[in-house]
């Protein structure tokens, strides 16, 4: 391994070292004086010893704090009574129960890390998960220390008329010199990561929700006043989520007030602080002119996600950060279920699986691969990953499949009941489901501890004489860092067998007396096993892994006719789509080979005909049709190549799109016309589906680069009454050479320059452009006045989009894209290490590329590793890449 000078070999935290805390904090009284340059924080903690051991030292976490004073039971402590270092404060002698009063000074206005207390748009806000509270005051900053908080905020009344914290407002009033104060009390004990404070000049919208037991909950949403016309959708989504959680999980909200604040500078999507959620404004603000249908869906999903955390996360929380998926995996599953119930379940599943297979599979196959319950980390912020969130949600979904809806609900009821008010583990979660269902999930638990994407290799055999059909299944899982050998998993495999009419055959396994009609779930447990179905009258078409019932890669040698048949007939809509994707993957990979060998590319005519038939079909779910017509992403295709060739993938994929457009031009044009809007703008599943399909047609037509089509596209861009149609048009125009591109980009900028979230879209579309000069343009845009390195949304919109979403240009064989990313990782790291670490992760799959690219990426990783003062965050990613 490479010699890395700095930081002085950061410490690794291991799950196996977990110990219950020596001390607990029962109550916390916080007092903030918010100033223009500095803020003082006084905290009074009621602490009691837990451990049997004789008075162990009390070690409080603290970072970037100026300590002003400490008193223990009213006595001012002297320097010799404690020891201070950059990350902690140690008191050597403390009684069994005592009160500790600490005063610290912090500088929120200079806090660019966006962790702890900081300012955004002139307002104060906090972000404490995972370890931000220690940047506010000295504390036992770990989730298994749960305390009751009282918070008093004092600030200038004119500048900060709104003062918020968790729980209920219990007092407020004026002070001299133009200051005012508010005092909040949260009756629920909580870990420090759920603490929140907001102070600022914000516009409020009020609403109300009546819970099923008849309690009235005030709903307050705060945004900067220029965004006041964009709050409706988030509020309506919140009310739907509250009602849904009562109906589906029997969970009622528990405080009298629920607040949401939108801020522009935020490292993540949103944060579930008790009673006071803080959101990235991207996941709150929407109106049809500025937000796309996708934005609307994302807002609904994130609003629901944070709301659902009130039970899965807050009432029952995590014992330690290795258990992060306890709250995140479960809550993602819950928000996925909720969104599925709001529209088309098949489309929602397709989107989620696409996302998982494109990004999580990639993570699970690279140097950062880790189990859903990781065993060690250097910086916990690096473990807010696709694996912990999305694969974690897939684990919960598998449990749902194994237990069935009722059994699952009994399990979650027991879980919430048993662990209310506690900080627990993923194992406690599984145990509750197990106990409620009298079921053995011991083998299933391996899903939490084993990294890597399992692979299923399936062969089938039909015996006409005996009327039996046999599925032989072999499961394996590739090695991942630290885990060379894997044990077999307990995998629910949902299947159906189709007869020649496309109907599901009744399924009866050997030894069973009755058959099951429709989908049935096989439970795999062995490395190799066989399932024999009886009374199968003719050779069926197998529909396996229905609804993607497990996060695995499936290898099954279907014939093309079988895939076409499943695409047309499968009762499982997810698998209809999947059959089409498999056909496309096969065709593209075949052409990639031809491309690499310099052979002429020819597109299979059966594929073209099928696409034509799908376009003409009368399938009512038009969003579903649009998904079938979409080719697999370049990232997903890369997953199938031993050595990733980004140019070949890109060129081949474009060739197929162009060929389809040429062959089916009239059909695409006619469909585009037929789907023209009638009536006023609406945003319901039907209209969203119509827009999606229509814009899919436009996308194909624009592959032809014909002047008429270009002007039609520009027409749509100019006259659309909603952002979905505008973005669909602009995203095609940015690829072309013609004058329409410049005109459209300028028009868009001029129109929306005051709207920061819309300008993010403008950055992203340019970063995703296929054009050869994209990198140069992106570089230029980093100097644009609207671009700010301190704003994570801007960084993600431009640099993130380019490096993670434009493989063809990022992986330019010259290495220029890599150098650009390296530069920005180093520029950003001193300001915001969390976001810098996310950026550098674009290099994670570097060993999957050809020699030349590997060397170029490695050079950037080494350059970053050698830089003095690099953050723990970036260090961890880079060193794992170079290990
Ligand atoms: N807990 C937040 C969520 O998933 C995500 C988050 C993590 C936000 C860390 C900020 C910091 O809902
Ligand atoms: Zn979450």
How many angstroms does the Cα of residue 306 sit away from the middle of ligand 2? Answer: 6
Task: Please count the residues of the chain.
Answer: 883
Q: For residues 847, 848, 852 and 853, what is the CA-based torsion angle, rounded to 10 degrees? A: -90
pLDDT value at position 6?
46
Residue pair 289/145 in contact (Cβ under 8 Å)? The answer is no
What is the structure's pLDDT at 705?
A: 87
The residue whose CA is least distant from atom 2 of ligand 1 is 271
The neighbouring-strand residues paired with 100 are 45, 72
pLDDT digits (tens, 9 = 90+) for 836-874: 999 999 999 999 999 999 999 999 999 999 999 999 999
For residue 185, the SS3 value is strand
Angle among Cα 225, 230, 233 to the nearest 5 degrees reads 140
Q: 366-411: per-residue pLDDT in tens?
A: 999 999 999 999 999 999 999 999 999 999 999 999 999 999 999 9
Atom 9 in ligand 1: residue holding the nearest Cα: 129
Cα–Cα distance, 822 to 808 (Å, whole number): 18
Q: Pocket of ligand 1, candidates 132, 191, 262, 271: which has the most ligand atoms within 8 Å of its Cβ, to mutate?
A: 271
Closest-lying ligand 1 atom to the alpha carbon of residue 130: 9
Ligand 2 centroid to residue 309 C-alpha, Å:
7
Q: How far is the CA of 270 from the centre of ligand 1 (A)?
A: 6
SS (H, E, C) 730-747: HHHHCCCCCHHHHHHHHH
CB under 5 Å of ion ligand 2: residues = 328, 331
> Best of 269, 332, 333 to mutate for ligand 1, by most ligand atoms within 8 A of CB?
269
- Local structure of 441: helix, strand or coil: coil
CA-267 nearest atom, ligand 1: 10
For the CA of 389, the closest atom of ligand 1 is 4
Here the tokens at position 389 are: 């969130």
* pLDDT in the model for residue 10: 87
CA of 37 relative to ligand 1 center, distance in Å: 28
331 alpha carbon to ligand 2 midpoint, in Å?
6
Position 335 pLDDT exceeds 80 = yes
Instruction: Report the distance separating Cα 475 and Cα 553, nearest Å.
Output: 10
Contacts by residues 439-445 (CB-CB < 8 Å, ≥ 24 positions apart) = 439/402, 439/403, 439/407, 441/399, 441/402, 441/490, 443/488, 443/489, 443/490, 443/525, 444/398, 444/399, 444/402, 444/489, 444/490
Our mutation pick for probing the ligand 1 site, out of 116, 118, 129, 330, counting the most ligand atoms within 8 A of Cβ, is 129
Pairing of strands 553-556, 455-463: parallel
Count the helices and strands in the chain (H runs, E runs).
29, 32
User: Which is nearest to 152 in space by CA: 142, 137, 162, 163?
Assistant: 163
Q: Is the ipTM of this complex over 0.95?
A: yes
Ligand 1 cavity residues, CB under 6 Å = 127, 129-130, 267-268, 270-272, 305-306, 309, 328, 384
Instruction: Give 168's strand partners.
Output: 185
Q: How many CB atoms lie within 10 A of CB 855?
A: 12
Q: How far is the CA of 523 from the centre of ligand 2 (A)?
A: 29
Contacts for 681 with CB less than 8 Å, ≥ 6 apart: 288, 687, 721, 722
**Cα–Cα distance measured from residue 186 to residue 168, given in angstroms and rounded to the nearest whole number:** 6
Q: Whose CA is nearest to atom 1 of ligand 1?
A: 271
Structural element, H or E, at residue 342? helix 324-342
128 CA from centroid of ligand 1 (Å): 9
Q: Show the 3-state SS of 842-862.
A: HHHHHHHECHHHHHHHHHHHH
* Tens digits of residue pLDDT in 214-251: 999 999 999 999 999 999 999 999 999 999 999 999 99
Give the count of alpha carbons within 13 A of 93, CB side only. 4
Q: Measured between alpha carbons, how far is 58 from 51 in angstroms, rounded to an integer?
A: 11
For the chain, which domains are there?
Answer: 24-200 (2.60.40.1730), 319-551 (1.10.390.10), 753-883 (1.25.50.10)
User: CB–CB of 245/314 below 8 Å?
Assistant: no
Exposure letters 184-207 (e unless 16+ CB within 10 A, then b) = bbbebbbbbbbbbbbbbebeeeeb
Three-class SS of 782-794? CCCCCCCCCCHHH
The tokens describing 377, both together, are 């980390």
- With 0-12 / 13-18 / 19 or more C-beta atoms within 10 angstroms meaning exposed / middle / buried, residue 342 is middle
pLDDT score at 8: 56
Tell me the CA–centroid distance for residue 92 and ligand 1, in Å: 34
Specify whether the CB–CB gap between 319 and 386 falls below 8 A.
no
- 207 forms beta bridges with 219
Query: Atom 3 of ligand 1 has which residue's CA nearest to it?
Result: 271
d(Cα 850, Cα 813) in Å, to the nearest integer? 10
| Per-residue model confidence (pLDDT) at position 216 | 98
Interatomic CA distance for residues 805 and 93, integer angstroms: 55
pLDDT 10s digits, 25-44: 999 999 999 999 999 999 99
Q: 620-656: per-residue pLDDT in tens?
A: 999 999 999 999 999 999 999 999 999 999 999 999 9
52: pLDDT strictly greater than 80: no
What is the CA(863)–ligand 2 centre distance, in A?
34
- pLDDT tens figures, 54-76: 889 999 999 999 999 999 999 99
| Chain CA centroid to CA 21, Å | 31
| Cα dihedral 700/704/710/713 (nearest 10) | 0
What is the secondary structure of 87-148 as a DSSP string?
TEEEES---SEEEEEEEEEE-GGG-TT-SEEEEETTEEEEE-TTTTGGGTS-B--STT--EE
* Residues 744-796: tens digit of each pLDDT: 999 999 999 999 999 999 999 999 999 999 999 999 999 999 999 999 999 99
Task: Tell me which residue has tokens 């799950």.
Answer: 15
Give dist(CA 141, CA 129) in Å, integer.
10
Mean pLDDT of the chain: 97
SS3 215: coil
Q: Which residues are part of the catalytic machinery? A: 306
The CA 61 to ligand 1 mean position distance, Å, reads 20
Tokens coding 417: 């009941």
Helix (H, G, I), strand (E, B) or coil at 194: helix
Q: Supply the pLDDT for residue 755.
A: 98
Q: Report the interhelical angle of 573-596 vs 560-569 (nearest 10°).
A: 140
Q: Residue with the nearest Cα to atom 12 of ligand 1?
A: 271
Least Cα distance to 810 among 838, 839, 787 occurs for: 839
Cis peptide leading into 333, omega within 30 of 0? no
Across 439-463, average pLDDT: 98
């Amino acid at each position: 391994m490479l010699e890395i000078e700095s930081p002085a070999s950061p410490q690794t935290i291991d799950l196996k070292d977990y110990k219950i805390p020596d001390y607990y904090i029962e109550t916390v009284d916080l007092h903030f004086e918010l100033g223009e340059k500095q803020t003082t924080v006084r905290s009074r903690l009621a602490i009691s010893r837990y451990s049997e051991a004789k008075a162990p030292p009390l070690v409080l976490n603290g970072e970037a704090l100026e300590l002003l004073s400490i008193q223990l039971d009213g006595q001012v402590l002297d320097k010799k009574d404690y020891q201070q270092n950059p990350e902690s404060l140690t008191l050597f002698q403390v009684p069994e129960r005592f009160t500790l009063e600490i005063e610290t000074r912090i500088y929120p206005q200079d806090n660019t890390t966006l962790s702890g207390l900081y300012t955004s748009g002139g307002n104060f806000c906090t972000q404490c998960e995972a370890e931000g509270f220690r940047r506010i005051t000295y504390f036992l900053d770990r989730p298994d220390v749960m305390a009751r908080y009282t918070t008093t905020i004092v600030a200038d009344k004119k500048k900060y008329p709104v003062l918020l914290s968790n729980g209920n407002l219990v007092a407020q009033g004026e002070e001299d010199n133009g200051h005012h104060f508010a005092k909040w009390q949260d009756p629920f004990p909580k870990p420090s990561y759920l603490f929140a404070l907001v102070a600022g000049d914000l516009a409020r919208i009020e609403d109300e929700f009546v819970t099923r037991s008849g309690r009235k909950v005030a709903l307050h949403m705060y945004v900067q006043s220029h965004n006041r016309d964009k709050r409706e959708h988030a509020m309506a989504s919140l009310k739907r989520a509250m009602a849904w959680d009562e109906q589906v999980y029997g969970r009622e909200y528990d405080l009298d007030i629920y607040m949401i604040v939108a801020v522009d500078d935020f490292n993540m999507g949103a944060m579930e602080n008790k009673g006071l959620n803080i959101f990235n404004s991207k996941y709150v603000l929407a109106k049809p002119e500025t937000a796309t249908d996708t934005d609307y869906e994302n807002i609904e999903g994130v609003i629901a996600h944070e709301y659902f955390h009130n039970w899965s996360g807050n009432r029952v929380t995590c014992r330690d950060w290795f258990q992060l998926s306890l709250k995140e995996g479960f809550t993602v599953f819950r928000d996925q279920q909720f969104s599925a119930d709001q529209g088309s379940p098949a489309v929602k599943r397709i989107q989620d699986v696409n996302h998982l297979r494109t990004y999580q599979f990639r993570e699970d196959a690279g140097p950062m691969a880790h189990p859903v319950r990781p065993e060690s980390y250097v910086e916990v912020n690096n473990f807010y990953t696709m694996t912990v969130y999305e694969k974690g949600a897939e684990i919960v979904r598998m449990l749902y499949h194994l237990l069935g809806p009722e059994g699952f609900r009994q399990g979650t009821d027991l879980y919430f009941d048993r662990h209310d008010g506690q900080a627990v583990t993923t194992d406690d979660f599984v145990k509750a489901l197990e106990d409620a269902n009298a079921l053995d999930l011991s083998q299933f638990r391996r899903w939490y501890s084993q990294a890597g994407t399992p692979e299923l290799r399936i062969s089938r055999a039909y015996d006409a004489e005996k009327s039996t059909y046999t599925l032989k299944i072999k499961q394996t899982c590739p090695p991942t860092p630290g885990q060379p050998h894997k044990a077999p998993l307990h995998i629910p495999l949902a299947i159906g067998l189709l007869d020649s009419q496309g109907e599901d055959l009744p399924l009866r396994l050997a030894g069973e007396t009755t058959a099951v009609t429709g989908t049935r779930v096989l439970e795999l447990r062995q490395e190799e096993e066989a399932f024999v179905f009886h009374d199968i009258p003719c050779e069926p078409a197998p529909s396996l892994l229905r609804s993607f019932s497990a996060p695995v890669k499936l290898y099954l040698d279907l014939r093309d006719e079988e895939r076409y048949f499943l695409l047309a007939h499968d009762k499982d809509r997810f698998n209809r789509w999947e059959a089409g994707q498999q056909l496309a993957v096969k065709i593209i990979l075949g052409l990639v080979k031809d491309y690499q060998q310099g052979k002429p590319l020819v597109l299979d005519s059966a594929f073209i005909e099928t696409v034509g038939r799908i376009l003409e079909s009368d399938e009512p779910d038009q969003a579903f049709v649009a998904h079938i017509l979409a080719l697999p992403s370049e990232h997903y295709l890369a997953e199938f190549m031993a050595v990733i060739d980004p140019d070949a993938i890109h060129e081949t994929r474009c060739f197929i799109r162009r060929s389809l457009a040429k062959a089916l031009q009239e059909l695409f044009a006619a469909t585009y016309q037929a789907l023209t809007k009638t009536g006023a703008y609406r945003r319901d599943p039907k209209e969203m589906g119509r827009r999606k399909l229509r814009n899919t047609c436009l996308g194909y037509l624009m592959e032809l680069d014909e002047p008429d089509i270009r002007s039609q596209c520009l027409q749509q861009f100019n006259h659309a009454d909603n952002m979905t149609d505008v973005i669909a048009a602009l995203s095609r125009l940015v690829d072309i050479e013609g004058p329409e591109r410049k005109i459209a980009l300028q028009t868009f900028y001029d129109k929306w320059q005051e709207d920061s979230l819309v300008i993010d879209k403008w950055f992203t579309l340019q970063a995703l452009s296929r054009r050869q000069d994209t990198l140069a343009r992106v570089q230029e845009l980093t100097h644009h006045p609207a671009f700010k390195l301190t704003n994570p949304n801007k960084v993600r919109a431009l640099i993130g989009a380019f490096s993670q979403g434009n493989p063809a240009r990022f992986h330019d064989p010259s290495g220029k894209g890599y150098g650009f990313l390296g530069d920005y990782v180093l520029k950003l790291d001193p300001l915001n290490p969390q976001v810098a670490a996310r950026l550098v992760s674009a290099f994670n799959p570097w060993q999957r590329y050809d020699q030349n690219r590997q060397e170029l990426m490695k050079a950037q990783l080494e350059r970053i590793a050698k830089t003095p003062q690099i953050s723990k965050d970036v260090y961890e990613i880079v060193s794992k890449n170079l290990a």
